[in-house]
Amino acid sequence: MKKKILITGGAGFIGSHVVRRFVKNYPEYLVVNADKLTYAGNLENITDIESSVNYRFEKIDIVNKQAVLDLFEKYNFDGVIHLAAESHVDRSITGPDEFVFTNIIGTVNLLNAARLHWKDNPEGKLFYHISTDEVYGSLGKEGFFTEETSYDPRSPYSASKASSDHLVRAWHHTFGLPVVISNCSNNYGPNQFPEKLIPLAINNIKNSKPIPVYGKGENIRDWLFVEDHAIAIDMIFHRGKVGDTYNIGGNNEWKNIDLIRLLCSIMDKKLNREPGTSEELITYVKDRPGHDMRYAIDSSKLQNELGWSPIPEFSAGLEKTVDWYLSNTRWLERILSGEYEKYYDMMYSGR
């Protein structure tokens, strides 16, 4: 194998799309997916590639320093794409500690292991840290986040991601670790855990349950199809400038309530319901504490320097996503019942 690549968090939503892309497009790479399999990690996201010769799965907790060192010792990686994280803002409000452990300490453990293994020969190595636009805080009506925007995280989740970004840059400047960072806007698409807005709403509409809209539904997010994010990650990993940061976004801002209305109309069509039926499920609920008002990314650096651009038009991407959830009912049911958590034992016990 030409290169050994560690992808952390590859059983999660975005990680599973990145793992699939790398396993399929780079048969000359050995792709090692290291994941703790928290509630958000689901190996059933990647059953199609699990028996590929250039793929390995390692169940590890990145908070465990020794386990991370042992993993580097075992594989001697050439590159790291670090996605593993606690990722849900609402959970960071009810239980912030896990976010500090995984997102900050876990990242430091990976940085230290990479530094130790690459210090004598950093040439051609790369530590790629996947981050979020939430580190920049909240925008007013105007403007966009650029790579130069000052950090202003406001939730335990975004503060933990901001800390990890700072640490990654510190390891670059102080220890010369070859790093690159990208900060992306809200992703949507197949395999997203049904606690996030779009899959939660799809599932509730399907089951004629209330769709919880926080506050007045006026908060704005910039939505990007997950495979477009995976393509950007591929480009940045291979052609990004060491030490640089790239913003990734859909140039696709939606007020939550308008997005939910669009989703309702798509679902009415798909489920052969009278137009307007699903909208009746919209229920305004108590706002998220510290709810950021607006995120919007300026991704012109990535577009101009690496030639990236987002592909599907939003309603087409949303329809594709709805179709995926409606035709993968087993995937969803196994998550809702907790059955998916037994998959690892079934597939990997005794290996």
Residue ranges that bind ligand DAU, judged by CB under 6 A? 87-89, 132-134, 185-186, 196-197, 200, 212-214, 219, 221, 256, 288, 295
Q: Which does 83 bind (CB under 5 to 8 A by kind): ligand NAD, ligand DAU, none?
A: ligand NAD
Rounded to the nearest whole angstrom, what is the least distance from the CB of residue 218 to ligand NAD in the complex? 20
Q: Rule CB under 6 A: is residue 63 a binding residue for ligand NAD?
A: yes
Rounded to the nearest whole angstrom, what is the least distance from the CB of residue 141 to ligand NAD in the complex? 22
Q: How far apart are CA 5 and CA 8, in angstroms?
A: 10
Q: Rule CB under 6 A: is residue 181 a binding residue for ligand NAD?
A: no
Rounded to the nearest whole angstrom, what is the least distance from the CB of residue 36 to ligand NAD in the complex? 3
99 within 8 A of 160, measured Cβ to Cβ: yes
State which residue, 32 or 104, has the beta carbon closest to ligand DAU: 104
211 within 8 A of 199, measured Cβ to Cβ: no
Q: Which does 40 bind (CB under 5 to 8 A by kind): ligand NAD, ligand DAU, none?
A: ligand NAD
State which residue, 54 or 158, has the beta carbon closest to ligand DAU: 158
State which residue, 71 or 130, has the beta carbon closest to ligand DAU: 130
Stretch of residues binding ligand NAD (CB under 6 A), selected from 29-37, 111-119, 260-268, 290-298: 29-37
Q: How far apart are CA 72 and CA 110, in angstroms?
A: 9
| Residue that the structure tokens 């594709």 belong to | 320
Tokens of 238: 């291979």
CB atoms within 10 A of CB 17: 26
State which residue, 75 or 284, has the beta carbon closest to ligand NAD: 75
Of residues 86-105, which lie at the interface with ligand NAD (CB under 6 A)? 86-87, 102
Tokens of 302: 């990535």
Q: Rule CB under 6 A: is residue 107 a binding residue for ligand NAD?
A: no
Q: Rule CB under 6 A: is residue 79 a binding residue for ligand NAD?
A: no
Rounded to the nearest whole angstrom, what is the least distance from the CB of residue 277 to ligand NAD in the complex? 29
Binding mask 30-49 for ligand NAD (x = CB under 6 A): -----xxxx-xx--------
Tokens of 212: 């919880």
Binding mask 108-137 for ligand NAD (x = CB under 6 A): ----------------------x-x-----
Q: How far apart are CA 58 and CA 96, in angstroms?
A: 26
End-to-end CA distance of the chain: 22
Q: Rule CB under 6 A: is residue 187 a binding residue for ligand NAD?
A: yes
- SS3 state of residue 57: strand
6 within 8 A of 29, measured Cβ to Cβ: no
Q: Rule CB under 6 A: is residue 83 a binding residue for ligand NAD?
A: yes
Q: How far apart are CA 42 and CA 47, in angstroms?
A: 10
Q: How far apart are CA 221 and CA 295, in angstroms?
A: 5
Q: Which does 11 bind (CB under 5 to 8 A by kind): ligand DAU, ligand NAD, none?
A: ligand NAD
Q: How far apart are CA 250 and CA 237, in angstroms?
A: 19
Q: Rule CB under 6 A: is residue 231 a binding residue for ligand NAD?
A: no
Q: How far apart are CA 186 and CA 212, in angstroms?
A: 18
Q: Is 34 exposed, middle or buried (0-12, 13-18, 19+ CB in 10 A)?
A: buried
Tokens of 10: 């590859």
Rounded to the nearest whole angstrom, what is the least distance from the CB of residue 292 to ligand NAD in the complex? 13
- SS3 state of residue 39: coil
The closest residue (CB) to ligand DAU is 132
Buried b (16+ CB within 10 A) or exposed e, 103-130: bbbbbbbbbbbbbebbeeebeebbbbbb
Instruction: Please give the positions annotated as active site.
Output: 133-134, 157
Q: Which residues bind ligand NAD (CB under 6 A)?
A: 8-9, 11-15, 35-38, 40-41, 61-63, 83-87, 102, 106, 130, 132, 161, 184, 186-187, 193
